[in-house]
Amino acid sequence: MTRRRWIADELKGNTAALVGDHAAHLARVLRAEVGQEFDIAAGEEVRRGTITFVSYDRVEFALDAKRYRTRRSQPSAAPKITLVLAIFKFDRMEWAIEKCTEIGVARIVPVITRRSDAHLAVAAAKRHERWQRIARQAAEQSRRSAPPEIAAPVKLKALADVIISTEVDRVVLAESEEDARLRDVLQPFSTEVALAVGPEGGWTAEELAWFRETGWKAASLGNTVLRAETAAIVATSLAMEALR
């Protein structure tokens, strides 16, 4: 039976710990006991951990000396995808964060756009910690060695300050049938790509113009109009496959 994986909050030598709500889930919901064994991930390393201490806000593990990678651990050569995700209805957006984490996205940048509802834009900053927790739980469930980075929400014009490297290939999803399909656009790219997925209703003409002016290539997912969360998942899957 495959051992459940946890991503350590603290690591020191051959001991690791989960703290706060992270520990509470293991202690309260799963009723952890001293002596139980789990896989503990810290950075790129995965080690077997045996519980030595349990409380509702802290669970400690003694780690085996053996370090190993599993088939599903992400090697450094894996595609590195940054998902620029326009802010839309939180329940659906959080579903996209969860599923794109499972697929293997390396970073998610929530963006406030012209068509983002005003109340969602205001509330987004308060959701940052929740989004980080969702990504961590999805990373553990899918047996990743680390969760993706979840950036703090930014306005679109500030995106250039977040994606600093000019070496990153950049693609914005557009609904125009005149644009090439995403799979074709990705073919000549390296292993590091930023994908921008718009809100419900898509990007405005001004926003698409800004993307093009700042070096982003436009691409389409086909003739059908997808919901934002569907587009994010499909685009991430296509990119992961194309860049492997």
Gap between the Cα atoms of 86 and 153, Å rounded: 9
Residue 67 and residue 73: Cα distance in Å, rounded?
12
Sheet with strand 15-19: strands edge to edge: 5-7, 37-42, 45-55, 58-63, 15-19, 10-12
- DSSP, collapsed to helix, strand or coil, labels residue 16 as strand
| Structure token pair of residue 16 | 């690791």
**Domains defined along the chain, listed by start:** 5-63 (2.40.240.20), 80-243 (3.40.1280.10)
Best CA proximity match to 4, nearest among 48, 43, 45: 48
Q: Give pLDDT tens digits along the chain (244 positions).
A: 577 899 999 999 899 999 998 999 899 888 999 999 999 997 678 899 999 999 999 999 999 987 765 444 444 457 899 999 999 999 999 999 999 999 999 999 999 999 999 999 999 999 999 999 999 999 999 988 889 999 999 999 888 888 766 678 999 998 777 788 998 999 888 788 999 999 988 999 999 999 999 899 999 998 888 999 999 999 999 999 988 8
Residue 234 to residue 229: CA distance in whole angstroms: 9
From residue 68, alpha-carbon distances to 64, 142, 145, 203 in Å are 10, 17, 11, 44
